[in-house]
Each structure stands twice: as C-alpha cells, then as structure tokens.
Amino acid sequence: MKYSELPSADAEVFEILQGEGRREMEGLELIPSENYVSPAVLEALGTLMTNKYSEGTPGRRYYGGQTYTDRIESLAIERAKALFGADHANVQPLSGAAANLCAYAAWMEPGDTALAMDLSHGGHLTHGAPVTFAAKAFNFVRYKMKDVETGEIDYDALEATALEHRPKMVIAGFSSYPRTLDYRRIAQIAAKVGAVAMADMAHIAGLIAGGVLENPLEQGFQIITTTTHKTLRGPRGAMILSNGKVGNPLRAPEKIIENLPTLIDRAVFPGLQGGPHMNKVMAIAVALGEAARPEFREYGRQILKNAKTLAGALMERGCKLITNGTDNHLMVVETITSFGLTGQEVQLRLEAAGITLNKNVIPDDPLPPFKASGVRLGTPSATTRGMKEAEMIRIAGWIVAICKDNADPAPIGQEVRQLCLQFPSPSGLVESA
C-alpha cells in the first residue's frame, strides 16, 4: 500500500508500520490463527466509517445519521447469513473472546453450567479456562480426547458429563485440535439435555465458508461464533451466527429458541459492548464478499493439502505429531519427543531463521504454558501467499534441520527470505506515495 499522509504527519509511526510490513513480507508465518488480508480489506478498514457511532442494529439505532452504517451492516449481515446458511448474524463483536462472552451471556445466567473441550486437548482459553472472567461467571465442565494417538473425542464421556451436569450450553470448537469433530453427535447430546449447541469456529470459519469442512449449523447446532481474521481472512473482528428454526428435533425447545436472535443482539449491545466499529464491519463485508468467490474454495482446498503435506513431511523426518497428523489447517508437534527441546526453545530457534510459529501445550502437558512441550503450526498464511506442496516439503526440511540436526539458522534464514519474496504477501509492503 502507498501512504501519502502518514509518512510526513508522523514519521515515527510510519517507520514502525514499514518495519512490520517488511517482517510480514520477508518472514514465513506458520501461526495457524494468522493470515494476510487483501488490499481491498485493508482499504475498507482504513476508512472514515470509523467516525460514526451506531449503537443498535440496522434500522433500530440510538443516534441519527445512520443511512450508510445501516447499509453496510445489513450488507455484512446478509453476506454472513448466505455464506454460512444462518437465520441471523451479529457482526458487531469486537473479537473472538468478546463474541464468546456475548454468546454465553445471551443464553446463560451467572452460575449456569457449560460443557466445553479441555484447553490442553485443543480447546480455547475463552471456553472457561480458570484464568478467564467467564470461568468466574459460569461453571465449566470438560470433555477430552479418548485417544491422543487418533484424536478421537471421548463422546461417551462427553454424554455422561452432560447427563450428570445438565449444561445449558455444549461448546464445540478449538484452537489446537488437528482433527474434525462429530458435530451431529454433539448436537444430539446437547438436545438430549436441553442445551444449546454452540460451535466456536474461530480457526476454521474460512474452511467452512470454502466448503472443505463441515458446517455445524447443518448438523443441528444453534450458534456459531467465529473470528473474522483467521482462515476467513478478514479484519480482526468476530460474528455470532445462529439458526433457531423451529421444528428440527435436534434443536432446543422451540419457544425459547425463537428468541435467540434477540437474545444475542441484546447480549452484544447493551449487554457487553458499546458502539460497533463500523470501519471493521465494512472490512468484514468485503472479506465475506471475497469468501463467496470460487477462488476461496480453491484456497480452502489448498490449505488442507498443504497441511497434510507439511504434517506428512515432518513425520517422515521423525517428528511426533499430536494425533499423528491433521484433518484441518493446523498441527501440533511434540517437541520434547521429536527434538528434546521445549516448545519455547523451538519457537526461539525458528524465529532466528525467520520462521514464526507458537509454543503450545500438549494434552495434559507437564510443562507450564510459557515453556510447553509442543509447538503449533499451520498453513493458512503460506497458502494465501500461493505456496503449495513443494514449498511445504522444503519448510519441513528447514524445521527439522534447525531443531533436530542443530543446523545454523542464519543461512537457512536466507533461504526462507528468498522463498517468501517469491510468494509476496497480498497485504503488500508499506511505501510512501
């Protein structure tokens, strides 16, 4: 992107922005929750829509002057509903964490119980980890994998826990689980105990939109929360989608569920948030437009192919992966077993070669999260740059050379940089006009 005002208006800030631009262009990003937005999304984000207050929903605002905010928010909502087959969408949550809190507040009272995946088995902090406020407000109970070698969830234990604790919500969703969930089974268990089934699709929304992973709303779930900035490749933000159509035996009792859209909208505002960020909503609309195009399906397919190739190449070179592979865009390498290094050590070594990933706990990890016995990596960013299977194999080779064979990261860093320059980030560099 070319900037005409910022370079002279605030040289100090512009210099920082240029640095990040170079880092993104020259470095290899393997953090599975990150991506590069298109120039169109960047342009929409940097607009004067940031000037406007628009508390409320389209057509029902608290302040005047909403002609264009109503139009852009309605457009984002309609695109989200069409893309995910939802009856209702709220595009105002400021982030994934906020969206989850809003969804909990929409359906639960303080003290109510929710059933969610254990953090070290792949779940997310916002699903009631003890350090979160949600864990103080609600009572979270857990489910885990039955077999860490295959990644299969212990659905019988999940059902037994649901019957014992009678949760009001059953939450499916993850940020470091490399397999797929049996959504239908989870929705059936939720229906059996009268709970709402909520899927937090923050990581995989782009893969669902791209038609390469299953849509939980089609399997009897009532709520999806998702970020918009991970595989969906939009601005940082989030959405809550719901499907409360009556008459589906998998769904919760009809008279309460009909209120779901209103409960969600009220939980977002005035329940937990103030004015929505309309520049972000505009950028979400653009990203959803991109996600509806055929190229996005190809991107989704390639993310999965790249992940399978990278996982296979790492395992061929002696790495131990949690669940021995992946069905989605991410994988978790057991670094102690594979390299005799903590996740933190691997993260640091690879960063010295311009490869970015993150340390991650493994199931029931004996190490604290700041050290961790594993690293998590994924293919969305590399795929957005246009990298394919051949590049994945080179990347696996570099990771193993640095972490297992103690290769010097400096010359590998040169190769990493060369590769990245061949596949430029669509967000581009930061230049003065």
Q: Which lies closer to ligand PLP via its Cβ, residue 178 or residue 409?
A: 178
**Position 95 contacts ligand PLP (CB under 6 A):** yes
Which of 55, 87, 154, 214 is flagged as catalytic? Answer: 55
Report d(CA 114, CA 99) in Å as an integer: 16
Residue nearest to ligand PLP (CB): 96
* Pairing assessment for the beta strands 113-117 and 139-143 based on DSSP bridges: parallel
- Is 81 a residue of the active site? no
Instruction: Give the alpha-carbon dihedral of 343, 345, 347, 353, to 10 degrees.
Output: -150
Size of the site for ligand PLP (CB under 6 A): 15
Length of the chain as a residue count: 433
Choices 83-91, 95-103, 269-277, 365-373; region in contact with ligand PLP by CB under 6 A: 95-103
175 interacts with ligand PLP by CB under 6 A: yes
Helix or strand run (H / E) with residue 11: helix 11-26
Query: Based on CB atoms, which residue is closest to ligand PLP, 57 or 175?
Result: 175
Regarding 200 and contact with ligand PLP (CB under 6 A), the answer is yes
Among 202, 377, 395, 412, binds ligand PLP (CB under 6 A): 202
Residue 426 beta carbon to ligand PLP: minimum distance, rounded to whole angstroms: 21
User: Is 36 considered catalytic here?
Assistant: no
Q: Which is nearer to ligand PLP, 88 or 203 (CB)?
A: 203
Q: Which stretch binds ligand PLP (CB under 6 A): 13-21, 92-100, 107-115, 158-166?
A: 92-100
Distance, C-alpha 253 to centroid of its chain? 30
Rounded to a whole number of angstroms, the minimum distance from the CB of residue 238 to ligand PLP is 6
User: Could you say which of 24, 29, 200, 391 is catalytic?
Assistant: 200
| Residue 360 within binding range of ligand PLP, rule CB under 6 A | no
**Which strands sit side by side in the sheet containing 223-227, from one edge to the other?**
88-90, 238-242, 223-227, 196-200, 169-173, 113-117, 139-143
- Choice among 3, 43, 53, 112 that is catalytic: 53
378 contributes a contact to ligand PLP by CB under 6 A: no
Asked if 136 is an active-site residue, the reply is no
Query: Nearest 5 degrees, angle CA 22-CA 25-CA 27?
Result: 95
Beta-carbon contacts of 42 under 8 Å, excluding residues fewer than 6 positions away, are 1, 283, 427
Q: Is 203 in the site for ligand PLP (CB under 6 A)?
A: yes
381 interacts with ligand PLP by CB under 6 A:
no
Cβ(331)–Cβ(203) below 8 Å: no
Binding positions for ligand PLP, 236-295, rule CB under 6 A: 238
- Active site (annotated) includes residue 2: no
Note if 87 is an active site residue: no
| Closer by beta carbon to ligand PLP, 172 or else 416 | 172
Residue 372 CB, nearest distance to ligand PLP (Å)?
Answer: 17
Beta-carbon contacts of 395 under 8 Å, excluding residues fewer than 6 positions away, are 28, 30, 310, 313, 355, 382
Helix axes 409-422, 11-26, angle to 10 degrees: 100
Query: According to CB under 6 A, which one of 215, 227, 328, 373 is a site residue for ligand PLP?
Result: 227
- Give yes or no for a contact between 127 and 203, defined as CB atoms under 8 angstroms apart: no
Angle between helices 409-422 and 389-403 in degrees, nearest 10: 160
Pick 93 or 210: Cβ nearer ligand PLP: 93
Q: Is 97 in the site for ligand PLP (CB under 6 A)?
A: yes
Residue 223's SS3 state is: strand
Least spacing, CB of residue 348 vs ligand PLP, in Å: 23
Task: Tell me: does residue 126 bind ligand PLP (CB under 6 A).
Answer: yes
DSSP notation for 235-257 = SS-EEEEE---TT-TTSPPHHHH
Residue 432 phi/psi, 5-degree rounding, is -85, 145
Known active-site residue 227: yes
**In the chain, what is the straight-line distance between the N-terminal and C-terminal CA atoms, in Å?**
9
Q: Give the binding range for ligand PLP (CB under 6 A) out of 72-80, 170-178, 215-223, 419-427.
A: 170-178
Secondary element (H or E) of residue 89: strand 88-90
Peptide bond just before 270 cis, omega within 30 deg: yes
The site map against ligand PLP for 6-45 (x = CB under 6 A) is ---------------------------x------------
Contact between 96 and ligand PLP (CB under 6 A)?
Answer: yes
| Catalytically active residues, by annotation | 53, 55, 200, 227, 230, 236
Enumerate binding residues for ligand PLP (CB under 6 A): 33, 95-97, 100, 124, 126, 173-175, 200, 202-203, 227, 238
